[in-house]
Structure 1
């Protein structure tokens, strides 16, 4: 392989068109507007997937993977439930927030302004 055969990857993460899908019925929260989510995997680094994820205004429940993420745009609150050895916690998300979630955390996401993040997950 010559030194000219490798190219850098470049993406405008804030401008990517992410087709949205409705969340699964088991992720919907009673009495809350159902959200939609979109994602695009950009690649991998060792055993980590890197991508862009977006959630519309609304709420959803989730069980997390090991993940780091950086919020690009939007406003939200993620509530971590006291379960599985994890302490209860509430995190306000805004552009620039950097968050670490752990495998098995039970969360509740409430988005008040469409949230877009770059994630690094296993």
Structure 2
């Protein structure tokens, strides 16, 4: 995780993110990695940039709204069971804490997130 200094421009599209391998228990396909940087953080809200490489992983979500700025992926919400969401630049999605998901990334996915 890195952080951006207040008052400085953060270009979410080019911000350098350090990737780590997804834990094996979360890997569904391939060898995905993820990276993120926190832009701002308070007791009420965290704003950041998150990226995932090609592959698939499972996750349990936090309360979050995000905007996709690059890439292509399918987000499956397994619990509660919802229709799959096709993600592309401009997609805006709201997730709630405890949702069980599978992220299948076809082109490296980058999003700006707002999490509480």
Give the TM-score taking structure 1 as reference length: 0.86
Gaps of 5+ in 1: 1-6
Contact 1:57 1:111 in 2 (8 A): yes
Q: CA deviation at 1:25?
A: 1.5
Per-residue Cα deviation, 1:26-69 (whole angstroms, up to 9, x for no partner): 1111xx10200000001125511000000000000000000000
Q: SS of 1:17's equivalent?
A: coil
Counting only pairs closer than 5 Å after superposition, residues 12-31 of structure 1 correspond to structure 2 as 12-29=11-28
Higher strand share: 2
Q: Which has the larger radius of gyration?
A: 1
Q: 2:93 aligns with which of 99, 112, 116?
A: 99
Aligned pairs, number: 111
What CA RMSD, in Å, does the superposition of the two structures yield over aligned residues?
1.3
Gaps of 5+ in 2: 1-5
Task: Write the distance in 2 (CA, Å) between the matches of 1:88 and 1:34.
Answer: 26
Q: CA deviation at 1:89?
A: 2.1
Segments of 4+ moved more than 3 angstroms:
none
